[in-house]
Amino acid sequence: MLNNEQLLRYSSNLLMKEIGEVGQQRLLKSHVLIIGLGGLGCPASQYLASSGVGQITLVDHDTISLSNLQRQTLYSSDDIGLSKARQAGHSLSQLNPDIRITALEEQACEDNLDALIKQADLVLDCTDNRETRYLINHSCYRLNTPLVSAAARGFNGQIIALNPEHSHGCYQCLYPDNVNEPLNCSNAGIAGPVVGIMGASQALQAINYFTGHELNWGYLQTFNGLSQNWQQLSLPRTASCPVCGGKNARSS
Amino acid sequence: MRVQVNDKHFEITEKTNLSQLLSAQNIDTSAVAVAMNGQIIHREQWQQTELKDNDTITLVQAVAGG
Ligand SMILES: [Zn+2]
Residue A247: CB partners within 8 Å, gap ≥ 6?
none
On whether the CB atoms of residues A178 and A129 are closer than 8 A, the answer is no
Per residue in A1-42, pLDDT tens? Answer: 899 999 999 999 999 999 999 999 999 999 999 999 999 999
Amino acid A246: pLDDT: 73
**Domain annotation covers residue B26:** yes
Amino acid at A64: I
**Domain annotation covers residue A2:** no
On whether the CB atoms of residues A94 and A138 are closer than 8 A, the answer is no
Cα of B29 vs centre of ligand 1, distance in Å, is: 18
Catalytic site residue A185?
A: yes
Whole-number Cα distances in Å, A128 to A5, A23, A142, A151: 37, 31, 22, 7
pLDDT at A182 > cutoff 70 = no
Q: Please give the model's pTM, rounded to 2 decimal places.
A: 0.95
Amino acid A61: pLDDT: 97
Residue A108: pLDDT band with limits 50, 70, 90: very high
B35 interaction partners in chain A (CB closer than 8 Å): 233
Mean pLDDT of chain A: 95
**Domain annotation covers residue A3:** no
Amino acid A180: pLDDT: 59
Per residue in A46-94, pLDDT tens? Answer: 999 999 999 999 999 999 999 999 999 999 999 999 999 999 999 999 9
Instruction: Give the residue numbers spanning the domain of A92.
Output: 10-248
Amino acid A181: pLDDT: 60
Q: How far apart are CA A58 and CA A45, in angstroms?
A: 8
Residue A210: pLDDT band with limits 50, 70, 90: very high
**Chain A window 99-158: which residues touch B at a Cβ cutoff of 8 Å?**
126-130, 133, 150-153, 156-158
Residues with CB under 5 A from ligand 1 (ion): A 169-170, 172-173, 241, 243-244
Cα of A249 vs centre of ligand 1, distance in Å, is: 9
Cα of A206 vs centre of ligand 1, distance in Å, is: 22
User: What values do phi and psi take at A133, rounded to 5?
Assistant: -60, -40
With H, G, I as helix, E, B as strand and everything else as coil, classify residue A156: strand
* Domains held by chain A: number: 1
Instruction: Give the residue numbers spanning the domain of B16.
Output: 2-61
In terms of pLDDT, which residue wins out, A127 or A250? A127
**Domain annotation covers residue B66:** no
B31 interaction partners in chain A (CB closer than 8 Å): 175, 177, 179, 181-182
Cα of A169 vs centre of ligand 1, distance in Å, is: 5
Report mean pLDDT in 10-residue bins for chain B, 66 residues: 92 93 88 95 94 96 92
In this structure, what CATH number is given to the domain that contains residue A232?
3.40.50.720
pLDDT at A211 > cutoff 80 = yes
**Domain annotation covers residue A117:** yes
Per residue in A165-181, pLDDT tens? Answer: 999 999 999 999 766 56
- List the alpha helices (DSSP H) in chain A: 4-9, 11-14, 20-28, 41-51, 84-95, 110-118, 130-143, 171-174, 185-188, 192-210
**Domain annotation covers residue A5:** no
**Domain annotation covers residue A170:** yes
* Domains held by chain B: number: 1
From B27's Cα to the closest Cα of chain A, the distance in A is 15
**Domain annotation covers residue B46:** yes
B44 interaction partners in chain A (CB closer than 8 Å): 238, 240
Amino acid A252: pLDDT: 53
In this structure, what CATH number is given to the domain that contains residue B19?
3.10.20.30
Average pLDDT estimate for A144-161: 98
Q: How far apart are CA A96 and CA A117, in angstroms?
A: 23
b/e sequence A88-109, b meaning 16+ C-beta within 10 Å:
bbbbbbeebeebebebbeeebe
**Domain annotation covers residue A126:** yes
Amino acid B26: pLDDT: 87
Residue A186: pLDDT band with limits 50, 70, 90: low
Calculate what percentage of chain A has a pLDDT beyond 70: 94
Instruction: Decide: residue A206, CB within 10 A, 0-12 exposed, 13-18 middle, 19+ buried.
Output: buried
